[in-house]
Amino acid sequence: FDPACGTGGMLSVADEYLHELNPDGQLELFGQEYTDESYAICGSDMMIKGQSLENIKFDDSFTKDGFSNSKFDYMLANPPFGLEWKPEEEFIRKEYDQQGHDGRFGVGLPRINDGSFLFLQHMISKMKPEGSRIGNYTPKLTCQQYITLLEIITCWIKTFLCYFLTSRPAFKREI
């Protein structure tokens, strides 16, 4: 599952990787995207791969969870960096206030100018009780902007949702 699947690149790579490991393996791909063009490209790619277009939802993951009753074994995302969630703020704050820790964003709300951690919390809410795996790429630059980052990570570690965090050095170009 990819809650910010864009054109479906990460879903396609996951599908290709599985078939390299096990040519007979079956992987059912799920994703959600809110931009018209990206959704169309992703949907076309999924249909070419024999996946169900029903598994790719067209809408905003924050305000209309296309998989509200679903839990997934594996999730991956490369959410848009610096995504301002101001347009969704009223909805997200209402869910946060009403549902608290039982809701998708109960751990805390990041700064309004970057919704990367909202995507991660959204994926955590889709973990199966017996365990799931999440791969989420967020650049270090974005992480440093969060006032609530420490509280969010502390909560994840205390509830055993986070096994490790890693940081890789910034790309350096040699001339």
E-only strand ranges, the chain: 31-33, 56-58, 74-77, 133-136
Tokens coding 133: 């795996």
Residue 42 lies in a domain: yes
Task: Supply the CATH number for residue 113's domain.
Answer: 3.40.50.150
| Residue 174, in any domain of the structure | no
Domain that holds residue 48: 9-158
pLDDT band at 160 (very low <50, low <70, confident <90, very high): low
Looking at the domain assignment, is residue 163 inside a domain?
no
Query: Could you tell me if residue 141 is inside a domain?
Result: yes
Tokens of 55: 């598994």
pLDDT digits (tens, 9 = 90+) for 74-126: 999 988 877 899 999 999 999 999 998 889 998 888 888 878 889 988 998 99
Q: Are 13 and 19 in contact (CB under 8 A)?
A: no
Domain count, the chain: 1
Return the structure tokens found at 65. Answer: 């969870």
pLDDT (mean) for 146-160: 57
Higher pLDDT, 106 or 146: 106
In a domain, 2, yes or no: no
